[in-house]
Structure formats: structure tokens, C-alpha cells
A and B are shown apart, each in its own frame.
Chain A
Amino acid sequence: MAKVTREMVEKSGVNVDQLVELLVKNAAAELTTYYYYTILRVNLIGLEGEGLKEIAETARIEDRNHFEALFPRIYELGGKLPGNMKDFHDISACPPASLPKDPTDIKAMLTVLVNAERCAVRGYTHICNLTAGKDHRTYDLALSILNEEIEHESWFSEFLGEGPSGHFLRRGETSPFVSKFLK
């Protein structure tokens, strides 16, 4: 634990135990989403599915990156990850992004994907709101993740016919916002 780090955050008026619990729940959401997106991605097949596979893979890898970026902050603030993977899954801040009954139903697949991203956007917006102007490092981290989750949402939303995302696919590298926390 980084004692002074925690002390500074406490002094700013943030309930650190509550914040750590939120970070753990969101770390769980990222790792479980990485797992569930693996299943979704391998089932994105056929003429329609292939068109989504690339962005589903990018979102999958970036969600794993979010987990990698989050857990150090949890320990810095005096928290820890649960010792049991099943417990970790069950405390996720977002529901499981389970494979739809009919994986060839592209709209159902996209709905699972966009709902997962929307849950994440809500979660990181909330963490940003709680930490803005108080816990600068957590805010920076949550904002970086939020930037990527918003892009994921917009990609899947575009495919659902909700309007243009305004973005293009990543070209080569992943996590343009979060990568600074992974070095």
C-alpha cells in the first residue's frame, strides 16, 4: 500500500474503502468481459459475423488492458483482489456478457456487446465523478478507460444502426488512452 497516497485521497474527502470496492468490481467486470468476449468473438462467423470480429477483438484486448491498468491502483490504495476467481466473477460491476441463445443472430450479439460497453461507460463515468479534483491518479486512470469504453460503445452502436460512431478502427495498436498505465 502507498500510505501517503491513500492518506491524500482520504484527506480529499473520498471514501477510500468504497472507492477501492468500486475499482475491484470494475476490475472484475473487465476480466470477466475479456473472458465472455472471447466466446462472443469466436462465434462471430459467417458473412455478417466476420465484419464484427475485428472490433470485438479490439474491445476484448482493451478490456483485458483495463484490468491490467486497474489492479495496481487497487493495491496502491490498500485494497486487494479476491483470492477466489469465482468470488471475483460474482462481484463484477456489470452482468455477464453471455453468448446469446442463437449466436448467428447478429443483432442479439451486438446487443450483448453494446450493453456491456454501456455498463462500463456508466461505471467509469461514476468513478470519474467521485474522484474529479480529489484523487487525481484514479481520475486519470478512470478517464483513460472511459475514453476507450466510449469508443467501444460507439462502434457497436453504429453496427446496430443507431448512427455513425464518428470513429475508425484502431490501426495496429490497442489502448491509445490506457497504454500509458501499462508501461
Chain B
Amino acid sequence: MRALKGVSFDLVRGEVHALAGENGAGKSTLIKVLTAAIQPDEGELWLDGQRIHPRDPFQARAAGIAAIYQQPALFPHLTVAENIALAGDSGSPWHRISWAQRTAHASALLQRIGANFSPSALVSDLTPAEQQLVELAKALDANARVLIMDEPTAALGEQDTQNLYRIVDDLKSKGVAIVYITHRFEELMRLASRVTVLRDGNSIDTRRMDSVTQHDLIRLMVGREIDTVFPVRDTVPGEVMLELRHLRCARAGVKDVSLTLRRGEVLGLSGLIGSGRTQMAETIFGLTPAESGEMLLNGKIVSTPNPQAARSLGIAYVPEDRRRHGVVMALPIDQNISLAALHRVSSAAGMIDLKRERAAAQGFQTSLSIKAPSVETVVQNLSGGNQQKVALARWLFTEPRILILDEPTQGIDVGAKAEIYRLIADLAGQGMAILMISSELPEVLGLSDRIAVMAGGRIAGILDRSEATAHGVMELACRTTGAAA
């Protein structure tokens, strides 16, 4: 898989250059390449007229490229001064660190960025905003000439955000070139002088911010052609099967979700990463039980305190991170498929009928065309698409009424994607209610009866299939992110 195909952009001293793009457009990969966390297959990196090829993040820092991320990467049990000192090289023999000097130095750095906590404070005692400032201090300490900021305001409140803007302005005036990644349009407008839009691992266009509108940007971000044919869906959704009323699980980031899901319906769930889509699914499935709000199944109030309860209500959840949790990699196909419904292949005493188990797995192998030598093949040895089919088969074997799919086609090839799409359409046709979380707009637009868009832990809007456009979905997803944070 190549996350980046061809990206070119240039950066001028003292400018804030924004990167924009959908989930998976290649922004994070680009940062990793710039900071040498991963090595590019080809391409060149030039800094101040010299070609550089840093081998690791440490060399990149030495060359003057530093990055701060959404989530601070600090040692929580060390002090602020220690964290700052450990990021750099003390330059003295034996790498001896003079703590008095480092603490004074850290103090000066913190003052410069307007932080009002002590350099001897423990990082774990700081707020996320303060931790973000420590990251910034680390970057300043490295005398960064290029500073990459990946959604630095994602965890910050309004006041801290303003403070960060002020620091960015200050750095800019000192000649630091800043690569700024954000989903918030107001932030782009406020900070950036130019913006480069990435899509599918390519840089699409670089524009000056004063000559571009929000509308243009969205068009550039989603402007991809739909390259997969979606199955024709002509079933009309039936009665309401699942209804959520003000579902809330604040500790997981689900603030207030109300929606309905009908029999035979595919409800697409769109939204940016971090908007709470997966968390909402996990709340429905009982992994992070709801704190308040109601859940109605066929008109009756139900609760899902744990996954076992959800399963016995007929709710199935095929999780996003298939590679880690959708299947058990070390077990063979048949044992993976029966795992969520062992009662269906075993006696009341818990004795598994191995023949029945194998037969059931073979049935799915045929119907979902899982490509493997036999159902005894260990799942680890299958391709991503086939692993996904095993994960699906496991839940179909529980005969669910409600199927929640989280990024069902992530990281699988086009052929397998088309098969999964056909399967989703078939299942809905048979009357299953399907909630499909996806970051791929074409897939959401191509398969769903309705599209719910989440932002900031809330439903930002629900669009009907007939009125939904990529532009409309992105607008809902981006517009409210800023306001909700």
C-alpha cells in the first residue's frame, strides 16, 4: 500500500503553509516522511538550497525540522525540563546534563511562549493544552527552521487556541516556516498564507489563501471521481428497528446522538476522524456503555452494558481495526467464524461439534468467496480483504438484526471492495439494518439510503440519499468541528 503517490510543495521562510485533505489523503504520512519517521521510496527533500536526507527523526531535528502532533508525545512521569532536555543533545562529554542549566533554559523557553507553569512540574500534572506548549518548547529548543503542526488545537480550548495563534504569529515573524494541518476553515483563514490540498496521496493544488474560498477548498478535497461501481439498491427501508435518543457517553467522546435505523436500510455514518463515529458504535455495542440517553430496539427500551448483552440483542459490530481486533490472527478461519456464536455449534454442555463448525465455515467460505486453501488456514496468512470477509462472516453467523460496520473496506483492494459492497446491499435487501461508518465519501454516497454526519460527538446533520453530495457531507463534517471543540 502506498499512502503517498506524488506530493510536491514548497515552503517559504516565515510563512504558514496549510495542508488540507480528507481522512486518509496522506497528510500524516507526509509528516512522517518530513520528520524521517519513515523513509520515502523516492523523491527529494531540499532545505535552504541543500538536499538533505535525514535517516531518523533525530537527524531531522538536527537539520531543523521539528513536529508537534495532535497528541503530545511526552514522558508523563518526567518533569517539563527533563522532557525538553531529553529531546536534544546536551553536547557535553558523556552526554552529561547540567540540570540547573537545563531548568533555567527550559524556564526561558516557557516564558517565551507565554506558558505559566514551572519547568519542574511533572508532565502528567499538566493539562493537554499545557502539554502541547511543552511540545512547542521542545521544537523551539531545536531551533527549528521548519515546524510542522498537526492539528495542534484539536485538544485545546478557545483561550489556549488564541494563545497558540499568537505563538504561531511570533514564530512566523522570526522567519520559521510552518506547515500547519487542520480541518477547521476558520483556522486556515486566520493563520495560513497558502494552502496545499492533498487527495489520495497526491498534492492536488497549492493556492494562496486570499484567493480561495471555503467552497473551492471543499471541491478540491473531495473532487475525486467515483471509480467503483456500486450495486443498484432498490429496497425500500421498513419500520424503525433501532432508535437512539440523546445517547451520551462523554468519557468516550459521544456527546449527544439521536438517530433512527430502519429495517433494510443502509445508514451511512460520515465524519472526520475524532468526530466520535467509532465511539458511538462502541457505545451501542456496549464496549463503552452509555451514560445517559435511551436506546430502543423494535420500540422497546434496551441497554447494552457489555458486548455480550449487545450480541444477544442481535447487534453485531465489525470493528475498524480489523488487523488487530476484528479477527483473532492466530486462530484458523473456522474458529474465527464460530467465535461470537459458539453456542450455535456446540451442545448445551459446551461441547463443540467440530464437523458442524467446519461446515458452517465452509458455507461462508463459498458464499463470501473467502480465498484460502481450507477453513483451517490461520487468518494471519490471508489477505486484508479476506480477513475482512472472515470478520464479517463471524458476525453474520450470529444472525444479527443490526449490523454495524466500521470502515468495512479500509485497506482492501478494489475487487474485494466491490464484493463487500454487493454483500452489504444483499444483506440490507434481506432486511438487515446496517449502520456503515466510513471515511470514504464515494462509498457512503454510493451505498447509503441516508447519511448521518457526525462532528464533535454529535450528529451534525442527516442527509437523504437524494440530497446528499460530497460537498454537503464535508461541509457538515468540517463546519461544526470548530464550534464543538
Note whether A and B form a binding pair: no
Which residue numbers of B lie inside 8 Å of A, CB to CB?
Answer: none
